[in-house]
Structure 1
Amino acid sequence: MHVDPEFARTPRFPPQSLRDYALVADGEAGRVGELEVRWSGAPSARPDGTGHLVARVRLAAGERRDPVLEIGDRALPAPVDPDRAWERTRRAWAEAVPRLDATLAPRDARHAHAVLRGLTASTGGMVAAATTSLPERAEQGRNHDYRYVWIRDQCYGGRAVAAAGAYPLLDDAVRFVAGRLREHGPHLRPAYTAAGGPIPDLRPVDLPGYPGGFDLVGNRVDRQFQLDVFGEALLLFAEAAADDRLDPDARAAARIAAEAIARRRFEPDAGIRELEPRAWTHSRLICAAGLWAIAEHLPDAPTWRALAEAIVEHTSTHNLHPDGRWKRSPNDGACDAALLFPSLRGALAGDDPRTVATLNAYLAELTEDHYAYRFRHDARPLAEAEGAFLLRGFVVALAEHQQGHEVEAHRWFERNRAACGPSGLFADEYDITQRQLRGNLPQAFVHALLLESAARLSRPWPSEGNRS
């Protein structure tokens, strides 16, 4: 073990200058540069002649020691008792992260919950990722700053923890999303800072950046209109209402979201892919799903159900492919993974012919070896254009579960939950050729869908009502 003077924010001195450090005996406080330092549970650290401070510990068979290093910029309090510290730590984690024993994979479910909690600020806002500018493809310009709260991702996280029966993070999500809706109404932005403010625009930073990436931070997403965020907000609020956790402020926000859908449903939007404005199919159907879901809990049900029916009918008229599956938009007949979501959220029933045709087409065109891709960029093989999109792998697991294909659902779940790093964290994408994660991590929505899948695959798919 060693304490590096550089780590303590002091210059690296020649070995003979280490006498300037007032290092004292085991368990007593001393100074390293401007910092207070205390070693406990090990012999005093001494210079090793290379600029490092080294402590050597010899243990007899069965002997145990708990070395503790404390560093502070002021006088240190009483020494830490390691046994008590470990017990407090275990107790705090047990209180913060439920056991989730009823899920398909309790350990991974707990890990996913812990990640989501770690990405959630005191405001209730859950940032999409903890990193910035890690490229999805080297030198391709596809590196982004995701250290902000995407409304859609926040709703995914809230629904996931609710499916697992872990409600404090659901309450956080409802609080944050409801606050933004009450503040901005029909002009709700797709994303915010963790404090609820506007996202800064792209700007360079004086850092070299990750290899293959760029030295840019910030994001232009808040210039966009994304219709589906209103539907996602309603789905989140409906989940909270089903558990009697929707307070008056959130009920007011739900009405604002429903009114925004009624007002803006014919406007082109940037959609889930944040592309050029179109009448994206996913956006409209998710809004219908949200309206149907919240209508079960608030008194405006007849009006909202009628609006949902009108949206599905209009979308089916203009956005349905001749082979019976959903198109991305009226002028884009391609498949898209996002089109699996609406039936999972209740816009259509699982046995609706449009649902079945969309899933079958997607499996045939955009999946390989139980890895899922978003959409086809060009004529290249899928794995050459981008990495497998891990969130969608878990979405396919849910779609197969909805269809009653339990073996396939579990195969999809197992394949995609294995596509993580040694720490168990997931990024946006997984390069199946090089067996490497791609993009920022930990990516909140992947952990959210893993948690939701682990919860839902552990029980039968709920019975579904009729949809248009």
Structure 2
Amino acid sequence: MPALHTPPVFAGIVDERDGGRLELRPVDAFESTREYVEGTNVLRTTFTTATGTATVTDALVTGVAGRLPWTELARRIDGVDGEVAFEWAVIPGNTFGTEPVQRLDTLHGPILRAASIDLVLVGFEHGRTDPHEPGDGFPDGPLEFRGAFTTSPGSRHLIAVCGTDDEPIHVPDPRIVDRGIDRTIANWQRWSEEFDYEGPWREAVQRSALALKLLIFSPTGAIAAAATTGLPEDLRGGKNWDYRFAWVRDLAYTVGALTRYGLREEPHAAVSWVLKMLKEYGNDLQIFFALDGSLPDGVHGTKSEGWRGIGPVHAGNPAAGQLQLGVFADVIGIMLHYVESGNILDERTSELIVAYADHACRTWPKKDSGMWELPKKRHYVTSKIGCWKALTDALRLYELGEIKPTDEDVEMWRKNKGLLEEWLATKGWSEKRGAYTMWPGSKDLDASFLLHVAEDFGDPARTRRTVERIRDELAVGEQVYRYTGVDREEGAFVACGFWLVQAQVWLGELEAAEARMDALVAAANDVGLYAEMISTETGDFLGNLPQGLSHLALVDAASAYDNATRRGEE
């Protein structure tokens, strides 16, 4: 509120004292169930008490033509039977300690200001009790909005918080907001109708697509890696990172996933955003950006205590500025997938891709931080596979006539592709381990290898043996750890489990792949969402939620299985 990339004003989950919260709950003891309205990102919760039942519908309201110019978070409460007494509060936090909250008197009632973020509250039948008329003690009034009401059969109540960041704030008519909830449901359901998948995990795949749609920052087309920040990956502390940024890697996977199921607008916006970044920052493309396209400004500590006291909570991500060779495959792969989905590259884009492939030839011999953004630079094997794939895809774009390299460019790409194949065969493969290892001379296995099982960079028998080693050594039940030894400091990486499903499909192990997929789908939370990691002991999620990469991996695994079973039927 008001956007993914702005300092959070409702961050009580990582800062119970000062983070801020948005509360709505029955006064008496209750039971609750929740679900998304079918085909939407609108949440509906049913509260049952000893005296009655009521539903709460939560929506980020959309406009007639899509995103509103401001943010409008609406909570509609409907009485079902009996009576339910509710109490509510809107208590903004101090945006990770940047500035204290202020309450300002205005012509249209009070607003609460946290740093550059302004919040206003509107509603009806909501029993607001805080002072909210001009002259009621401002600016020393309470730094919160509060109220209480009781539902009855057929009653309707509304609480809506509207916010802007460093802009004028709109104070909407609450009746219009209420109608906007219905419009938002209809908008989401129309969007979902464009989603073309009828396989065995349709509900999970559609929910993943909807989660990914929520992570798209519509003003730029950038796609956030996660919707939250600071949730711990390790319950002992020390791994509380900020993923409210746009990773080029995740964006590449998203373009593939969404176009695969018939969606058009979001992939086009994402491709355009990547090209804008290439034009602005050149060949030394950053691995991630702020959602507005600016460069991240480093990591900042906060005073937040952390979820259940597990800290420290950081704003920003330490991977900024790292060299990750896999980004070459991400960028060029996006363009190839975009073309093969029925689109045409312009001349300027052709020039950019040629220059980028040339840069990959010059850069691949360097050490990098790898896909896992590790602090120690090495010759990570999957990074070299990524460079091989980048050159393979560039040559394919050339064969399709979509880019126009010189003969010297093409010769250089083919030569370096061959050098990479030789490097992978002689340095990436370990005879002792009977597998491609994490780096030359290492005994460690790397689950990111699973992303490359369909690539023709070497002996398929070696690829099969590596997948089998990863399955035997990194998997615990249906879940998979990122690499050897990391189980001592974090949970299993949710996406890796789905990557293993894809690999098992490639190996022809369809029954095993289906069983693993069923178990992974069942591991979602009560509304079908996944975090970054999961405890193999308790099944509890770890890290930020929802995590885009987890949902992308689910979509890709379902697609791989679907394609394989269709081929088997033909």
Please indicate the TM-score interval, normalised by the length of the shorter structure. 0.7 to 0.9
* Other-structure match for 1:261: 360
Distance in 1 between residues matched to 2:147 and 2:474, nearest whole Å: 55
- What residue in structure 2 maps to residue 221 of structure 1? 319
Cα distance, 1:38–1:255 mapped onto 2, change above 3 Å: same
Identity in percent? 23
- Of 42, 58, 69 in structure 1, the residue corresponding to residue 152 of structure 2 is 58
1:310 has 2:419 as partner: yes
**What is the CA distance between 1:397 and its match in structure 2?**
0.5
Structure 2 counterpart SS, 1:68:
strand
Offset, 1:366: 1.1
Contact kept in structure 2, 1:319 and 1:326, CA below 8 Å: yes
Deviation per CA, 1:158-179, whole angstroms, max 9, x where unpaired?
2221222323222232122222
User: Equivalent residue for 1:128?
Assistant: 225
Residues 45-92 of structure 1: CA deviation (Å, up to 9, x unaligned): 4879xx964433432xxxx4543345667664383385x545422321
Match of 1:239 among 331, 337, 359: 337
Indicate the structure with greater strand content.
Answer: 2
Structure 1 SS opposite 2:469: helix
1:7 counterpart = 2:90:
yes
**Is the contact made by 1:36 and 1:74 (CA closer than 8 Å) also made in structure 2?**
no
Distance, in Å, in 2 between the alignment partners of 1:462 and 1:297 is 27
Contact 2:122 2:161 in 1 (8 A): yes
1:268 positional shift: 0.8
Residue 497 of structure 2 corresponds to residue 404 of structure 1: no
User: Which of 197, 201, 208 is the matching residue for 2:294?
Assistant: 197
Checking the alignment, whether the CA contact within 8 Å between 2:123 and 2:174 is kept in structure 1 is: no
Contact 1:47 1:53 in 2 (8 A): yes
Q: What is the SS of the residue equivalent to 1:55?
A: strand
* Distance apart, 1:115 and its partner CA: 1.3
Cα distance in 2, alignment partners of residues 47 and 363 from structure 1: 58
Residue type at the aligned position of 2:185: R
> 478, 482, 490: which one pairs with 1:370?
478
Question: After the TM superposition, which residues 281-300 of structure 1 pair with which residues of structure 2 at under 5 Å, given as runs?
Answer: 281-298=381-398, 299=401, 300=405
The answer to which structure has the higher helix fraction is 1
Separation of aligned partners in 2, 1:356 and 1:140? 37
> 1:458 is paired with a residue of what secondary structure?
helix
Query: SS state of the match for residue 267, structure 1?
Result: coil
Alpha-carbon distance, 1:419 to partner = 2.3
CA offsets, 1:439-462, max 9 Å, x none? 111111111111122222212289
* Number of aligned positions between the proteins: 427
> Which residue number corresponds to residue 541 of structure 2?
437
Q: Partner of 1:25 in structure 2?
A: none
Per the alignment, residue 493 of structure 2 pairs with 389
| Structure 2 Cα separation of the partners of residues 390 and 36 of structure 1 | 38
Alpha-carbon displacement from aligned partner over 1:111-137 (angstroms, at most 9, x marks no partner): 111111111112111111122221111
Tell me, what secondary structure is at the counterpart of 1:196? coil
SS of residue paired to 1:80: helix
Q: Is the 8 A contact 1:124 1:173 kept in 2?
A: yes
Unaligned 5+ runs, structure 2: 1-84, 93-107, 113-119, 131-144, 163-168
1:363-385 deviations in Å (ceiling 9; x for gaps): 1211122221111227xxx4x54
By how many angstroms is 1:242 displaced? 0.2
Do 1:171 and 1:245's aligned partners in 2 also have CA atoms closer than 8 Å?
Answer: no
1:85/1:396 Cα in 2 relative to 1: closer, same or farther (>3 Å)? same
Deviation, structure 1 residue 422: 2.2
The question of whether the paired residues in 2 share the 8 Å contact of 1:343 and 1:355 is answered with yes
1:111 aligns with 2:227: no
Give the secondary-structure state (helix, strand or coil) at the position aligned to 2:524. coil
In the TM superposition, what is the alpha-carbon distance from 1:31 to its structure 2 partner? 6.2
Cα separation, partners in 2 of 1:358 and 1:56, compared to 1, 3 Å = same
Answer 1 or 2: higher relative contact order, Cα 8 Å, separation at least 6. Answer: 1
Distance verdict in 2 for CA 1:199–1:47, change over 3 Å:
closer
Q: Is the 8 A contact 2:428 2:440 kept in 1?
A: yes
What is the CA distance between 1:347 and its match in structure 2? 4.0
> What secondary structure, in the 3-state scheme, does the structure 1 residue paired with 2:397 have?
coil
Aligned to 1:172: 269
Match of 1:181 in 2: 278
TM-score (norm 1): 0.82
Native 8 Å contact 1:237 1:294 kept in 2: no
TM-score by length of structure 2 reads 0.68
- Shift in Å, 1:285: 0.7
Alignment of 1:419-430 (within 5 A): 419-430=523-534
Q: Distance in 1 between matches of 2:385 and 2:161?
A: 54
**Structure 1 residues 348 and 86, CA gap change in structure 2 (3 angstroms):** same
